[in-house]
Amino acid sequence: MKDLKNTALLVMDLQQGIIDRLDNKDEYLEKVKNTISVAHENNIPVIFVVVGFREGFPEISTNNKAFNTIKENLSNTMINPTPVIELTNKDLLVTKHRFSAFSGSDLEILLRSGNITHLVLAGISTSGVVLSTTREAADKDFKITILSDLCYDFDKDVHTILINKVFPRQANVITSEEWKLS
C-alpha cells in the first residue's frame, strides 16, 4: 500500500441486532476482518463506530420516526453496544446517537487530533450510516473511500444506486481487494 499516514478505516455499526440480520453474516465478517488486518499491518488506525444510547433512551426524541422504530425493535442491543469484532489495544471505539458517525460522537475530535484527512468507510447500512457519514465527511472536507463490498443495505436496489450513482460524486468507490492492492 502507498503512504496512508493520514488515513483511518471506519468500521461502522457492526454490532448485535444489526449484523444478525445479514444473510451472509460469516462471509461478510471474514472480509471485514481481513481488511482490518491489512489496516493494522499498514499502521492505519481502525475506528469502530456503534450506535448506542443510555438506559431509557433519553437521546431519542418522540419526533424522530426512524430512531423510535429502532428503540422499539432493537432496544436490548442498543444500550452500551460493542462491535461484534474484537478491538485491539490500538483500535478506537466511538458511540454515535444518530445515523452519521459524526452525530453526537467525538469522532471529529479524534480524527483532527490524529491528523486524519482520508476516511475509508465500511458498514451497515449503506443507506444509513454510510450515506450519512459520507455526506457529513464530504461537508467537513475529508477525502473519502468507500469499500463497496463491505457496505450492506437491507434494500439491494438502494445499495446499488448509492454505490454506483450517488457515492462516486463525493468518494472513491472501490472494493476491499482493490484497496488492499492500492
Domain with residue 110: its CATH number is 3.40.50.850
Chain-centroid distance of CA 162 in Å reads: 15
In a domain, 135, yes or no: yes
In a domain, 1, yes or no: no
Reduced 3-state DSSP string for the chain:
CCCCCCEEEEEECCECCCHHHCCCHHHHHHHHHHHHHHHHHCCCCEEEEEECECCCCCCCCCCCHHHHHHHHHHHHHCECCCECCCCCCCCEEEEECCCCCCCCCCHHHHHHHCCCCEEEEEEECHHHHHHHHHHHHHHCCCEEEEEEEEEECCCHHHHHHHHHHHHHHCCEEECHHHHHHC
Total domains, the chain: 1
In a domain, 133, yes or no: yes
- Using CA atoms, how far apart are residues 38 and 166, in angstroms rounded to an integer? 27
Are 77 and 71 within 8 A, CB to CB? no
pLDDT for the residue 75: 65
Digit-by-digit pLDDT tens for the chain (182 residues) are 555 789 999 999 999 889 988 989 999 999 999 999 999 999 999 999 999 988 888 888 889 888 888 777 766 778 888 999 999 999 999 999 999 999 989 999 999 999 999 999 999 999 999 999 999 999 999 999 999 999 999 999 999 999 999 999 999 999 999 998 77
In a domain, 2, yes or no: no
Q: How is residue 150 written as a grid cell?
A: 463491505
In a domain, 139, yes or no: yes
Q: Give bridge partners of residue 83 from the DSSP assignment.
A: 15
Single-letter amino acid, residue 91 = D
In a domain, 63, yes or no: yes
Q: How many residues does the chain have?
A: 182
In a domain, 65, yes or no: yes
pLDDT for the residue 79: 83
In a domain, 134, yes or no: yes
Structural domain range at position 134: 7-181
> What is the pTM assigned to this prediction?
0.93
